[in-house]
Amino acid sequence: MLDLVLRNARIAGRGTASFDIAFAGGRIADIASSIAADAPTEDLGGRLVTPGFVDTHIHLDKSCILDRCRSEHGTLQEAIAQVAAAKRAFTEDDVYERGRRTLEKAIVQGTTHMRTHVEVDPRIGLKSFAAIRRLKRDYAWAIDLEICVFPQEGLLNDPGTEELLVEACRSGADLIGGCPYTDSDPHGQIARIFAIARDFDLDIDFHLDFDLDASRMNLEEVCRQAEAHRYGGRVAVGHVTKLSALPPQRLDAMAQRLAASGVAVTVLPATDLFLMGRDHDHNVPRGVAPAHKLAAHGVTCSLATNNVLNPFTPFGDCSLVRMANLYANVAQAGSAPDLAACFDLVTQQPARLMNLDGYGIAIGNPADLVVLDSADPAMAVAELAQPLRGFKRGRASFTCAAARLHRP
Q: Quick one: which H or E segment has residue 4?
A: strand 4-11
171 shares its domain with 254: yes
Split at pLDDT 50, 70, 90, the class of 13 is: confident
Per-residue pLDDT of 353-405, as tens digits, reads 999 999 999 999 999 999 999 999 999 999 999 999 999 999 999 999 999 99
Split at pLDDT 50, 70, 90, the class of 231 is: very high
Residue 267 has pLDDT above 90, yes or no: yes
Per-residue pLDDT of 243-253, as tens digits, reads 999 999 999 99
Residue 188 located in a structural domain: yes
46 shares its domain with 182: no
Residue 408 located in a structural domain: no
Global pTM value: 0.97
CA distance 211 to 107: 31
Q: How many domains does the chain have?
A: 2
CATH code of residue 370:
2.30.40.10
Burial letters 350-359, b for 16+ CB under 10 A, else e = bbbbbebeeb
* Domain encompassing residue 38: 4-51+360-399
- Most confident listed range (69-73, 77-81, 84-88, 239-243): 239-243
20 shares its domain with 168: no
Any long-range contacts for 256-261 (C-beta under 8 Å, 24+ apart)?
A: 256/297, 257/219, 257/220, 257/223, 258/219, 258/223, 258/294, 258/297, 258/299, 259/297, 259/298, 259/299, 260/223, 261/223, 261/224, 261/226, 261/227, 261/232, 261/235
Contact 179/205 with Cβ under 8 angstroms?
no
| pLDDT attached to residue 71 | 82
226 shares its domain with 371: no
306 shares its domain with 221: yes
Split at pLDDT 50, 70, 90, the class of 113 is: very high
Short-list 155, 151, 150, CA closest to 173: 150
Residue 25 located in a structural domain: yes
337 shares its domain with 364: no
Q: How far is CA 76 from the centre of its chain?
A: 20
133 shares its domain with 117: yes
31 shares its domain with 113: no
